Amino acid sequence: MSTTVKLHTDHQRNLLELLRENGVALSAPCGGLGTCGKCVVRLNGSDVLACQTVVAEDCTVEVPETEETVVLTRGISFGDVPTIDPVAPGDLLAVDIGTTTVAAFLLDGKTGEQLATASLLNPQSSYGADVISRIQAAVDGSLEELQRLITDGVDSLVETLCETAGRSPADIGVVSLVGNPAMQQLFLGMEPGNLAAVPFDPVLTETKLLSAKDYLPSCGSATLLVVPDIAGYVGADTVGAVLATKLDSEEDNVLLVDIGTNGEMVLRANDRMAACSTAAGPALEGAKITFGMRGAPGAIDKVWLENDEIRFHVIGDTEASGLCGSGLIDAVAAFLDLGLINKRGRIQPTEETNGQRVLYLNDDIYLTQNDIHEVMLAKGAIAAGVELLARTLGIEVSDIDRVLLAGAFGSFLNAENACRIGLLPAGLEGKATAVGNAAGVGACRMALSRAEFERTDDLLKQVEFVELANLPDFMTVFAHHMGFHEREVD
């Protein structure tokens, strides 16, 4: 399915930029570099990459309809807030701004009842799938446009939520917002140059109360809760997840992991908490993978072996169009078990397509050697982060009692296959539990309770940030975890 868009220009313009200006948030994971091949549109009867096409006159473009991505709004319960005492009266809005998706919750300010949930793809995606691309775009002059995209997107969610619940945006008294540091700063219109260069220091270091109408016109009477960041790449979303899971009160050794374009994690052990961020890259979100896509209808989300034959499930029970992150992990695990990928990640002699070795899931969809390499980079970074956090707190990885997988990817991930490929290092088998959108639940708790919101300042003081790149053995550990282990034989 496609949508026809009429564009007007009287001088040479980049087609992707022109589409952005006309409110078309075309997916461009590479940020317009021409490397991902995802921003395909139809112009004058031909398929072209919008980011690599220049138009000099009025034209009509056929744009693929936006994928109906599965966005996670459920999570662990927030109903155990001791006392409902928001910072202002009225209904409550909680928002989790992710790099890929945005989830929002409308709550009754008196009873705490969840009235409605809504979500959308982050409309900034045409500036790149990862935070680095968007930070660079903002630094290069697109800050105002990036802010407009996300504030308009959240405002549209407010309208949807209130329509669903039969409430008015004017009755919203509190807006609680979490996100990674880049997403927060772009929403607030704060130039993110601090995140583009060493030492990557955060600028939001304490709780603040602002007027929501300066960012969300529909919430003209609301107070905006600004949640502080732990570090430049460990943000308020992680703070929300810690709050939601009550990680600070755990007596066991517990690891909280949120895997996305960045892998943020917090480990609680020996009465301490340490956090880090790993540059997992966008592969696990479907970018940089030949047939990668988001978790939308047509995406293979589960892969398994049946009598040594590949079997898979497709979201929407339709024809397969590509692979989302969970399906990608399953597929790599399956091909490892078939002996078609060796411990160095090299595809073993098999069929070739366009001069390269590939691994077919069906007649049309396959993994390339570069796809395997992207997975190795992502899983090596995450596993290295886990091991180095454990070392920081004086324990072995095997001493971790439980692993809490937060976020959409963690909720749909097959934890056994994550351990099989080494995304979660050896010693964590059978210890993982999905906790849903913990960041969103944390945002709800802060909206419901002034005390929970104010407690985030104390949480920041408790969490030690570990800059992995500064550790002398980081590259050695990272390289070790890039490889795969051989299949165990009974």
Convert the pLDDT of each residue in 37-80 to its tens digit: 778 888 888 888 888 888 888 888 888 765 554 444 454 555 56
Pairing of strands 172-179, 91-97: parallel
26: pLDDT strictly greater than 80: no
State in Å, rounded, how far the first CA of the chain is from the last one: 49
Say what the pLDDT of residue 279 is.
Answer: 80
Say what the pLDDT of residue 81 is.
Answer: 67
pLDDT digits (tens, 9 = 90+) for 247-265: 999 999 999 999 877 789 9
Determine the Cα–Cα distance for residues 120 and 319; give it in Å rounded to an integer.
Answer: 23
Query: Cα dihedral sign for 126, 129, 130, 131?
Result: positive
Say what the pLDDT of residue 264 is.
Answer: 92
Say what the pLDDT of residue 281 is.
Answer: 67
pLDDT digits (tens, 9 = 90+) for 172-231: 999 999 999 999 999 999 999 999 988 899 999 999 999 999 999 999 999 999 999 999
Determine the Cα–Cα distance for residues 50 and 77; give it in Å rounded to an integer.
Answer: 43
405: pLDDT strictly greater than 70: yes
Determine the Cα–Cα distance for residues 381 and 284; give it in Å rounded to an integer.
Answer: 12
DSSP character for 370?
H
The angle subtended at Cα 227 by Cα 449 and Cα 378, nearest 5°, is 120
Answer yes or no: are the C-beta atoms of 26 and 63 closer than 8 Å.
yes
332-335 long-range contacts, Cβ below 8 Å, gap at least 24?
A: 332/367, 332/372, 332/375, 332/417, 332/421, 333/303, 333/414, 333/417, 333/420, 333/421, 334/303, 334/304, 334/305, 334/310, 335/359, 335/367
Domains of the chain and CATH, by start: 2-64 (3.10.20), 91-244 (3.30.420.480)
Determine the Cα–Cα distance for residues 465 and 287; give it in Å rounded to an integer.
Answer: 28
304: pLDDT strictly greater than 50: yes
Q: What is the mean pLDDT of residues 274-283?
A: 84
Say what the pLDDT of residue 1 is.
Answer: 60
Determine the Cα–Cα distance for residues 64 and 322; give it in Å rounded to an integer.
Answer: 15
Determine the Cα–Cα distance for residues 361 and 358; give it in Å rounded to an integer.
Answer: 10
Q: What is the mean pLDDT of residues 352-364?
A: 86
